[in-house]
């Protein structure tokens, strides 16, 4: 049950709230401001997002089959890949966005993110954030 809750957290909070905002809003804004990003960094990050989805689906399948060694292997790989992905976002994506976007564009982006949170459900997002501060318990 704990593993299912962990996967649900990453699928819902990580993918639905975080990755979706990047894919639906940030990436298109950056690609418009700097077209080369769409062919390199943005494409790589979108590929990561898809890989994360596939890994979580495989982990769910392994849980259903009782293949616990496979579940462990998949979740360790997910953790490692996610750390690399976060580093790429922090060291490349967000630095580049800060460099190429004007203050007005950043403000519009911020409010677009808030609108997306409202669309997806702010209360639900807050509940996931409370899980994190409580250790996913």
Q: Say what the pTM is.
A: 0.84
Token output for 85: 């992905």
**Distance of alpha carbon 118 from alpha carbon 52, whole angstroms:** 24
Mean pLDDT in residue range 110-117: 95
**C-alpha 13: how far from its chain's center?**
8
Q: Judging by beta carbons within 10 Å of its beta carbon (0-12, 13-18, 19+), is residue 32 exposed, middle or buried?
A: exposed
Long-range contacts of 66-72 (CB under 8 A, 24+ apart): 71/3
Q: Please check whether residue 62 is in contact with residue 3, taking contact to mean a CB–CB distance below 8 angstroms.
A: no
28-68 pLDDT, tens per residue? 898 888 887 667 888 899 999 999 999 999 999 999 999 99
């Amino acid at each position: 049950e704990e593993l299912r809750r962990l996967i649900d957290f990453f699928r819902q909070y990580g993918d639905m709230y975080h990755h979706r905002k990047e894919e639906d809003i940030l990436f298109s804004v950056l690609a418009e401001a700097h077209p080369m990003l769409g062919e390199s960094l943005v494409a790589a990050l979108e590929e990561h997002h898809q890989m994360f989805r596939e890994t979580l689906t495989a982990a769910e399948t392994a849980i259903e089959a009782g293949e616990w060694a496979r579940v462990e292997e998949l979740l360790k790989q997910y953790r490692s890949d996610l750390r690399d992905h976060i580093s790429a976002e922090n060291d490349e994506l967000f630095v580049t966005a800060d460099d190429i976007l004007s203050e007005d564009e950043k403000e519009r982006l911020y409010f677009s993110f808030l609108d997306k949170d409202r669309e997806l459900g702010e209360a639900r997002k807050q509940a996931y954030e409370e899980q994190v501060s409580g250790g996913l318990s």
